[in-house]
Amino acid sequence: MLGILGGVGYREHPVEGTLTRWIECVWTRTRAELPDGYDRIVPDGCMDLIWSDRAGVTVVGPNTTAFMAPLKAGSSSLGVRLHPGAAPPLFGVPGPVLRDGRLPARELFGDAGARLEERVSTAADSAERARLLIAFLYGRARGADEPDPIVRAATAGLHRSPVAEVAERLAVSERHLRRRVSEAVGYGPKRLGRVLRLRQALASLRAGAELAEAAFASGYADQAHFTNECRALAGVSPGRFLQDAGTVAAPPSRP
């Protein structure tokens, strides 16, 4: 995703090397010198290690529904987004522990998290902050298990296929797939499939696709199905999601 949305500058940057097995991207978000607002954060099945000038370094778990993140005028934040199911080996906790939650790095990682926050908060710029976050994760990756290959393979197909078909394709039982996905991602494969399908459809809309086109290309039965799922997971209709363009004036629905 790349663009300036509603006074919010948002960029995603790829990573290189061995960490690509865990990391999806590094992202940065800045708020122009405009009145305070909120950014609607839609679930994506991922966990993030985030720095913001408001909250320091935090670990944000997988969300089951959208939440509203406050945006102060002139504020900035950046984060490292991990592939669905890839974070638990690096964070040292099962996915469900962080579901719909966030923890300060110093609580999750102890003294190492406190040192990380001090270094990141005093870094000269965003590039240095991102380097420090990635270096921290690289250090943890050296002693961590690889991301679960069953979960990674399931993630590639759940947005298009029912859970039973994905399990059969991977030669595992549905029960086994549910357990593996739930432990790694934080919720089960059925919800993950819904989240990934919505993510793809909203990305298509942002790229300029028509509503019906985005719905069909993302595997929804029809436009109404897409609209209902968007309301259920993102809290608004697809049209309203685009209209908000990244910021809304309403108060957040959760902290």
Give the percent of the chain with pLDDT over 90. Answer: 76
Q: What's the confidence (pLDDT) of residue 213?
A: 95
Q: What's the confidence (pLDDT) of residue 8?
A: 53
In 3D space, the residue among 193, 186, 188, 168 whose CA is nearest the CA of residue 178 turns out to be 188
**Mean pLDDT value across the chain:** 88
Angstrom distances, CA of residue 145 to CA of 25, 83, 90, 96, 140: 20, 14, 8, 18, 10
Residues 54-80, buried b or exposed e (16+ Cβ, 10 A)?
eebbbbbbbbebbbbbbbeeebbbbbb
- Is residue 36 very low, low, confident or very high in pLDDT (cuts 50, 70, 90)? low
Q: What's the confidence (pLDDT) of residue 6?
A: 41
In 3D space, the residue among 79, 89, 95 whose CA is nearest the CA of residue 22 turns out to be 89
Residue 51, H or E segment: strand 47-52
- Is residue 244 very low, low, confident or very high in pLDDT (cuts 50, 70, 90)? confident
| Cα–Cα distance, 88 to 183 (Å, whole number) | 8
pLDDT digits (tens, 9 = 90+) for 45-96: 999 999 998 899 999 999 999 988 777 777 789 999 999 999 999 999 999 9
- Is residue 252 very low, low, confident or very high in pLDDT (cuts 50, 70, 90)? very low
Strand partners, 2: 11
Give φ, ψ of 167 to 5 degrees: -60, -45
Q: What's the confidence (pLDDT) of residue 144?
A: 92
Give the percent of the chain with pLDDT over 70. Answer: 90
User: SS in 3 state form for 174-225?
Assistant: HHHHHHHHHHHHCCCHHHHHHHHHHHHHHHHHHCCCCHHHHHHHCCCCCHHH
Q: What's the confidence (pLDDT) of residue 195?
A: 97
| Cα–Cα distance, 182 to 204 (Å, whole number) | 27
| Cα–Cα distance, 63 to 37 (Å, whole number) | 21
The more confidently predicted of residues 168 and 67 is 168
Q: What is the largest CA-CA distance in the chain?
A: 53
Please calculate the CA angle 132-138-143 and round it to the nearest 5 degrees.
140
Whether 163 and 174 have beta carbons less than 8 Å apart is answered as yes
Alpha helices in the chain, H assignment, sequence order: 87-91, 105-109, 111-121, 126-141, 149-155, 163-169, 174-185, 189-206, 211-217, 223-234, 238-244
pLDDT digits (tens, 9 = 90+) for 184-219: 999 999 999 999 999 999 999 989 999 999 999 999
Q: What's the confidence (pLDDT) of residue 5?
A: 38
